[in-house]
Structure 1
Amino acid sequence: MANLETFEHLFQRASERKGGPEKLAQLMSKPLSPKKIESIGDDRFLAEFTKKVFQSGFVWRVVVDKWPDFERVFFNFEIDKVVLMPDEMLEKKAQDSSIIRNYNKVKTIRENAMMIQAVRQQHPSFAKFVADWPGHDIIGLWAYLKKHGARLGGNTGAYALRALGKDTFILSQDVVGYFTQRNIISGSATSKRSLNAIQDAFNQLHQQSNRSLQEISQIISYSVGDNHIQAE
């Protein structure tokens, strides 16, 4: 991949922009180990998927403020309870003023619970399924969530995985801008060709550095664009 810079170049530039390697390290976060991800309850996966679905295109703070009520209204996202909710119950809950009243998004809660339940029929748990998914094909996990889940395409699924500790890169504006400027991708960043090219680039940078996809993603973000203080 001729247009891709080496990890060392990216790291040096990010360090310079952030005031040195030590300050850069303070800004960065790391994913959880697969073993720790396995220990996460499947209800927390459904909760995070739901949170990100509702935050998409909405003020994140409002969702966070209302989150305790979401937990209460939807049985703390217990999978076996959520999948049994009939349409009438979903409609009623979607009218509850303590949460965000959006029926189309409320419907995704049961749909994503059903996805999780289906995975659990083939794996010890949904958490184990996610933990075991290889990082060199993280876009494959994105595609699975998009195909089998509800409203988990785009960056929604990736942000949920990141929040849960799964090692993934994020197609932030700076990251997409970097790969576009280097002519590694053209057009939509979410096309199959672009996603494969970005995954290949991350795999190459991982081999050079042995850093996580999450760290590499942040380093790329910090190395370009107008950001000089805030994280991606």
Structure 2
Amino acid sequence: MTIEKFAAIYQRAAERKGGETQLESLINAPLSKQEIESIPEDRWLSALSMKVFQSGISWSVVRNKWPNFEELFFQFRIEPLLMLSEEQWEQKAQDPKIIRHLTKVMSIPANAQMIYNCRQQYGSFSSMVANWPQEDITGLWDYLKKYGSRLGGNTGPYTLRQMGVDTFLLSGDVEAYLRNIKVIEGGKNTKRALSAANKAFIDWQQQSGRSMSEISQIIAFSTGDNRV
């Protein structure tokens, strides 16, 4: 299958956004591998937990309450959280200072355990993420879904992007574009669809020398209803 050249995608995005200079001003670059490796584990758990709570709830409401979450959950430090009993977790889930949702609260210890377990195999969760091969970035999405709690769909990938990881996203505009060029057919979260999308982004990366994150944003700017 022949996919559209990245140069054509870029030109269309630039035309829609008022020129190359304007387009470039809208694009955010990912962090370096070294910067990702230096992210403390508590910041990963905080970010993952925030995205879990933002699923189906106003993002701004969750952000406004997040200082209370940080206080109640020991600034998301892994060891203190793993020492809590199930009864203590149930008590915390009823605290009126946070958003009271037991199953989402219980994703916190589950994801703390996932991060803790990564130390044995990878040295740290940050090291695992930083060194995950780009040609299988959707495998990292799958890892979060398989070993974490409530991190399937867009939750895991959006957290990675928010934290500066170089990954593409299957946002509405990007998914629609990939369907239009027949890279994705059927369910977007099937192994076949994710593998095909990952391969297409590797091809565009080789053509352009840009990060997956930048390519993903440029594709989003090149399609949909986001003209200047």
Q: Same fold (TM over 0.5)?
A: yes
**Paired amino acid for 1:158:** P
Distance 1:117 1:90 in 2: 18
Partner of 2:142: 143
Q: 1:29 and 1:11 mapped to 2: Cα distance?
A: 15
Q: Secondary structure at the match of 2:66?
A: helix
**Post-superposition offset of 1:136:** 1.5
Q: Aligned-pair distance for 1:189?
A: 1.0
Aligned to 2:31: 32
| Counterpart residue identity of residue 161, structure 2 | R
User: In structure 1, how many angstroms separate the alpha carbons of the residues matched to 2:226 and 2:87?
Assistant: 47
Q: Residue 20 of structure 1 corresponds to which residue in structure 2?
A: 19
| AA matched with 2:65 | K
Does the alignment pair 1:216 with 2:215?
yes
1:67-146 correspondence runs (5 A): 67-146=66-145
Distance 1:32 1:100 in 2: 31
Please state how far the C-alpha of 1:83 moved relative to its aligned partner.
1.2
Identity of aligned residues (%): 52
Shift of 1:123: 2.1
Point out where structure 1 has 5 or more consecutive residues left out of the alignment.
none
Query: TM-score normalised to the size of structure 1?
Result: 0.97
Shift of 1:85: 1.3
Structure 1 Cα separation of the partners of residues 133 and 124 of structure 2: 16
Calculate the aligned-residue CA RMSD, in Å: 0.8
**Counterpart-to-counterpart distance in 1, 2:82 and 2:166:** 28
Kindly state the Cα deviation for residue 54 of structure 1 after the two structures are TM-superposed: 0.3
Find the aligned partners of 1:185 and 1:141 in 2 and give their Cα distance. Answer: 19
Q: State the Cα distance separating 1:135 from its structure 2 match.
A: 1.4
Separation (CA, whole Å) in 1 of partners of 2:192 and 2:118 = 27
> d(CA) in 1 for partners of 2:121 and 2:179?
39
- In structure 2, the residue matched to 1:163 is 162
Q: State the 4+ residue runs in structure 1 displaced beyond 3 angstroms.
A: none
Show the counterpart of 2:187.
188
- Structure 2 residues not aligned, in runs of 5+: none
Q: CA deviation at 1:52?
A: 0.3
* Matched position secondary structure for 2:83: coil
Distance 1:183 1:34 in 2: 32
